[in-house]
Amino acid sequence: TGRERRYRLPKKCPVCKSDVERPEGEAMAYCSNMTCPAQMFRWITHFVHVMDIEGLGEKWIEILLENGLIKDPAGIYRVRKKKLIELPRMGEKLADKILANVEAAKGRNLDRLLFALGIRHVGSEIAILLADQFGSLDALSAASEEEIAEVEGVGPRIADSVRAYFRDRKKKAIIEKLRRSGVNMEQRRTKRVEGPLRGERFVFTGTLTAMSRSRAERLVASLGAEAVSSVTRKVTHLVAGADPGAKLARAEGYEIDVMDEAAFLSLLQEHGVEPDA
């Protein structure tokens, strides 16, 4: 039309005024300041989502940051009840629920932690490949770029990103804080069992009333299925409890079978599993 205007990427972050960088070959530009408030909020939100810490939504993350209770993802595991209940609209019951979910998240498998750490180019599937190959965060962080690149499905670009992450002094400090807080850093390989649901992949979202999410995951595993944390095209079923999160919309976009809790309980009973047994 002749009215097009050429867009210029900003040279400074609009939030913290640090330099903006665009890695070679990538379309996106990034703030270079790891402690930028906007960057940190985005990282913590991603971390909480991947580690499946229920009750800690974006608004509460924002409040925790504003009140200085957390400064990075590792800070989530150091928040104390006394400080939480001092926050407006944070009752004792909600504080107990959040802290219980935070404690439970310490035991997530290594692949979830790797995805949650926000390593560039490392999504949920790559995180599983790396965790299964190296078995522990220590082994992965000690591996050479060549060893990482040799993992099928990884390659040199991702390997370079992983090595750069573990060389970063600030990132290493956060990992050490996570370690001291008792966060699991090993990949527990569960033995697949033969069963009527073998080959199926389940994702759970929202709150289940008949059982905890961890019990639901164990029950589908007992039938030969696999419970995973993220919605990908390989997922076959999504079980939506009360107040489902963004996983529901993503599953519908992938045309994944979505069932409510009642349908899930019926599925278990069809295969001889009683939820309250």
Please report the pLDDT score of residue 215 as a whole number: 87
Report, as an integer, the average pLDDT of 143-167. 94
Distance CA 107, CA 162 (A): 23
Residues of the chain with pLDDT > 70: what percent? 88
Please report the pLDDT score of residue 264 as a whole number: 97
The model's pLDDT over 175-229, given as tens digits with 9 standing for 90+, comes to 999 999 999 999 987 666 789 999 999 999 888 999 888 889 889 999 999 888 7
- Given a cut of 60, whether residue 267 has pLDDT beyond it is yes
Distance CA 104, CA 55 (A): 13
Please report the pLDDT score of residue 277 as a whole number: 55
The contacts of residue 52 (CB under 8 Å, 6+ apart) are: 105, 108, 112, 213, 229
Shortest CA distance to 48 belongs to which of 60, 38, 33, 37? Answer: 60
Q: Which residue has the tokens 């959040």?
A: 98
Q: How far lies 15's CA from each of 12, 27, 33, 42, in Å?
A: 9, 20, 10, 13
Report, as an integer, the average pLDDT of 167-179. 96
Pairing mode, if any, of strands 201-205 and 237-240? Answer: parallel
Please report the pLDDT score of residue 141 as a whole number: 97
Q: Which helix (H) or strand (E) holds 20?
A: strand 20-21
- Residue 194 dihedral angles phi and psi, to the nearest 5°: -75, 140
**Between residues 232 and 108, the one the model is more confident about:** 108
The model's pLDDT over 98-129, given as tens digits with 9 standing for 90+, comes to 999 999 999 999 999 999 999 999 998 899 88
**Between residues 82 and 5, the one the model is more confident about:** 82
- Given a cut of 70, whether residue 10 has pLDDT beyond it is yes
Report, as an integer, the average pLDDT of 247-264. 92
Shortest CA distance to 120 belongs to which of 88, 161, 87? Answer: 161
**Between residues 233 and 136, the one the model is more confident about:** 136
Average pLDDT over the chain, rounded to an integer: 88
Q: How far lies 1's CA from each of 5, 8, 57, in Å?
A: 11, 19, 44
Distance CA 277, CA 274 (A): 5
The contacts of residue 30 (CB under 8 Å, 6+ apart) are: 20, 21, 22, 23, 39
The model's pLDDT over 24-50, given as tens digits with 9 standing for 90+, comes to 666 566 666 667 778 899 999 999 999
The contacts of residue 212 (CB under 8 Å, 6+ apart) are: none
- Given a cut of 60, whether residue 1 has pLDDT beyond it is no
Q: Which domains does the chain have, with CATH numbers?
A: 37-105 (1.10.150.20), 110-180 (1.10.150.20), 201-270 (3.40.50.10190)
